[in-house]
A and B are shown apart, each in its own frame.
Chain A
Amino acid sequence: MYQKILFCADLYASSDYAFAAALDLAERSEAELIILHVLESRHRYSGHVITEDGETWAGPEVFEKLKKKLREYYLIRIEREDPQNVRVEVRAGIPWVEICRFARKEKVDLIVMGPYTIHDPKAPLDLEKPHLGHNAQEVSLRAPCQVSIVTSPKQRLALEKAGESPREKKRKRTQE
């Protein structure tokens, strides 16, 4: 089915459901899962990015640091000890622009993302009413492939009814 699935990570809980869905899909399709995070640039044109260390140039050190953080955050949620088909990538710029550019270049089949990102992690999650954020909007309109916006765990894949997921099968096997 899918060969390359692109998950747009924002490092906050708002996209965790989307990650679960992307992972699930990648395993069923035996697709490559790419975890992409885009460091947001402050301006349209200048290329200075906002990191937790403040506003800075998007240089290799910044990217490496971020990749490490992404691996820590996401790879632990994957049950397999040494995930073969998972790749972590980092870009800098305007998120929706970079996501579309990446998807086009890598010929991705499906983009999975959360509906919006939280700009202030200290604020409680439910104060943000569900809405479609700017990046989600632009990506769904402009992406070269299908886009799946996952907002809650209730949004399961219809395929599930058709049969057990590989994970379910494996769990049953180990239980025996």
Chain B
Amino acid sequence: MHRKESDTRPVDVKKIRELLDANNGARIRTWLSLCSRCGLCAESCFFYLAHDRNPKLSPAYKFKATLGELYRRKGRVDRDFLYRCADIVWGECTTCKRCSMYCPFGIDVATLIATTRIILYSQGITPEGLARAVVNYRETGNQMGMSSEDFVDTCEWMAEESRDEIKGVTIPIDKVGAKYMYTVNPREPMFYPQDLAMAAKILTVAEEDWTMPSTGWDCTNLPMFAGDRALAGQVVRNMYEKAVALGVQAILITECGHAYRSALFEGPYLAGYPDGKPPVPIVHSVQLFYEYVRDGRIRIDPAKKLKEPVTYQDPCNVSRNGGLWEEGRKLVQFLAEDFRDMNPNREHNHCCGGGGGYIPMGPEYKARRMASGRVKAEQIRATGAKIVIAPCHNCFDQVSDLNKEYQLGVKVMSLKEILCELMVVPEKFQPELVEEEETD
């Protein structure tokens, strides 16, 4: 991020100090003090590895140069310094949390980076793409600025289309007391509404009791990545409160990474629930789809199983930070004949480079995203897979881009689309044939 010449606002040192103070709890104090500068974290970070082991990309360097400096100087910094920090905390970190697994003290660098983002945001600094999204969240409650009417209309459209293939598909809106309240990434209704159709088809065939809310349907949380902590909390509350109002048993999250992290792990704290638990249980699509296939609620046509070699992209926020790496893999075993795992995999898999707000940050960050994604590209290439399953929108887009950039020759697919292709549609859901008019 280069300094905007027009940005001559003075630095609000008082505000920075307030935030530094508010966050100076036991964890942050201890982490900043304890880091013994051993350098073990460096090798865990894909930014470091992709850029020829540039030591300035080790997690310890990144947090020391930003939050460490802010505390050391007690907030007395100039705007140039803040822009340099911004360049690091948004341009060189996706908060994937891999480094905290490699640090002898278990220092949670992602939290330190996120705290820095909050401070920078308070000074009006955040990447443009995230700033646009924040405005949308504020005005309409969702990141794409889609109105409730448009959203419900899109749902109706998709339900209509789906009825051509599966009888009786509906997307029930605001059904009280349903088992699951399905929440989506607004990029789905906005850009690829077929995702809604696919989910509806799967849930119909599994004979699930579900509903789509007319508000609070956005499970994403870009303000969390932008550094707007208050808005991040509000966004999560919208979703929680709708779920409580509808009296559903659980919130179902679409195939999205950070939505799960937001809803289940960080959200309760952002939204002000002191015990750290969401008011309603949260279930991720990967888990539910796996259970459907495991329990036979969705049967896979064995003739249609994917024959080409397949690999599984562990989205950081579904696998490592979500705990669902085994479920994802077990589901893929049902869907593919030739499964090839990446190395490393499961909770130790590398970040693809598209998360933490990176893809929404926009085209101006693309070159960096492609450079740091080299690690993921090499991992994919090494598996020899032709299909990459990516149950996360940002991983999906990032791997698609990496595919073009590094000529990997792969096709990226989501679990929904594979399930829709492969699932056996029981007799009762087969669409009725249109009666042919008799011609003489």
Listed in ascending order, the chain A residues whose CB lies under 8 Å from chain B are 41-48, 54-57, 93-94, 97, 101, 104-105, 142
CB-CB under 8 A for A97 and B401, given A45-B393, A45-B396:
no
Q: How many whole Å from A44's CB to the nearest CB in chain B?
A: 5
A54 adjacent to B363 (CB under 8 Å):
yes
Name which residue of chain B comes closest to A44, CB basis: B192
B400 at the interface (CB under 8 A from A): yes
B161 adjacent to A46 (CB under 8 Å):
no
B377 at the interface (CB under 8 A from A): no
B359 at the interface (CB under 8 A from A): yes
A94 adjacent to B363 (CB under 8 Å):
no
Please report the C-alpha to C-alpha distance between residue A100 and residue B362 in the assembled complex, in whole angstroms. Answer: 26
A93 adjacent to B191 (CB under 8 Å):
yes
B362 adjacent to A48 (CB under 8 Å):
yes
Contact of B192 among A48, A55, A56, A94 (CB under 8 A): A94
Please report the C-alpha to C-alpha distance between residue A54 and residue B364 in the assembled complex, in whole angstroms. Answer: 11
Q: How many whole Å from A164's CB to the nearest CB in chain B?
A: 33
Please report the C-alpha to C-alpha distance between residue A44 and residue B416 in the assembled complex, in whole angstroms. Answer: 14
B157 adjacent to A104 (CB under 8 Å):
yes
24 contacts between A and B (CB under 8 A): A41-B191, A43-B359, A43-B400, A43-B401, A45-B185, A45-B187, A45-B188, A45-B393, A45-B394, A45-B396, A45-B397, A46-B191, A46-B360, A46-B397, A47-B144, A48-B363, A56-B363, A57-B362, A57-B363, A93-B191, A94-B191, A97-B191, A97-B193, A97-B194
Number of interface residues of B (CB under 8 A): 26
Please report the C-alpha to C-alpha distance between residue A151 and residue B188 in the assembled complex, in whole angstroms. Answer: 33
Please report the C-alpha to C-alpha distance between residue A44 and residue B395 in the assembled complex, in whole angstroms. Answer: 11
Interface flags, B354-366, vs A, CB<8A=1, else 0: 0000011011001
A97 adjacent to B192 (CB under 8 Å):
yes
B359 adjacent to A46 (CB under 8 Å):
yes
Please report the C-alpha to C-alpha distance between residue A87 and residue B391 in the assembled complex, in whole angstroms. Answer: 40
Task: Report whether over half of chain B's contact residues are helix, strand or loop; otherwise say mixed.
Answer: helix
Name which residue of chain A comes closest to B393, CB basis: A45
B400 adjacent to A44 (CB under 8 Å):
yes
Q: How many whole Å from B413's CB to the nearest CB in chain A?
A: 11
**Across the interface, which residues of A come within 8 angstroms of B394, CB to CB?**
45
**Across the interface, which residues of B come within 8 angstroms of A45, CB to CB?**
185, 187-188, 191-192, 359, 393-394, 396-397
Name which residue of chain B comes closest to A43, CB basis: B397
Please report the C-alpha to C-alpha distance between residue A41 and residue B394 in the assembled complex, in whole angstroms. Answer: 15
Please report the C-alpha to C-alpha distance between residue A43 and residue B394 in the assembled complex, in whole angstroms. Answer: 10
**Across the interface, which residues of B come within 8 angstroms of A47, CB to CB?**
144, 187, 190-191
Q: How many whole Å from B387's CB to the nearest CB in chain A?
A: 15
**Across the interface, which residues of B come within 8 angstroms of A42, CB to CB?**
401
Please report the C-alpha to C-alpha distance between residue A41 and residue B188 in the assembled complex, in whole angstroms. Answer: 14
**Across the interface, which residues of A come within 8 angstroms of B154, CB to CB?**
101
Name which residue of chain B comes closest to A41, CB basis: B191
Complex A-B, nearest 3 residue pairs according to Cβ-Cβ distance, in ascending order: A43-B397, A45-B187, A55-B363
**Across the interface, which residues of A come within 8 angstroms of B129, CB to CB?**
57
**Across the interface, which residues of A come within 8 angstroms of B187, CB to CB?**
45-47
**Across the interface, which residues of B come within 8 angstroms of A46, CB to CB?**
187, 191, 359-360, 397
Please report the C-alpha to C-alpha distance between residue A94 and residue B400 in the assembled complex, in whole angstroms. Answer: 15
**Across the interface, which residues of A come within 8 angstroms of B191, CB to CB?**
41, 44-47, 93-94, 97
Please report the C-alpha to C-alpha distance between residue A105 and residue B157 in the assembled complex, in whole angstroms. Answer: 10
Please report the C-alpha to C-alpha distance between residue A41 and residue B187 in the assembled complex, in whole angstroms. Answer: 12
Given A43-B359, A93-B190, A105-B153, output 14 extra A-B contacts at Cβ < 8 Å: A43-B400, A44-B191, A44-B192, A45-B192, A45-B393, A46-B187, A46-B191, A46-B359, A48-B362, A57-B129, A57-B362, A94-B191, A97-B191, A101-B154
Please report the C-alpha to C-alpha distance between residue A162 and residue B366 in the assembled complex, in whole angstroms. Answer: 57
**Across the interface, which residues of B come within 8 angstroms of A104, CB to CB?**
157
Please report the C-alpha to C-alpha distance between residue A101 and residue B194 in the assembled complex, in whole angstroms. Answer: 11
Interface hub of B154, B187, B397 (most chain A Cβ within 10 A)? B397
**Across the interface, which residues of A come within 8 angstroms of B161, CB to CB?**
142
Contact of B157 among A57, A94, A101 (CB under 8 A): A101
Name which residue of chain A comes closest to B400, CB basis: A43
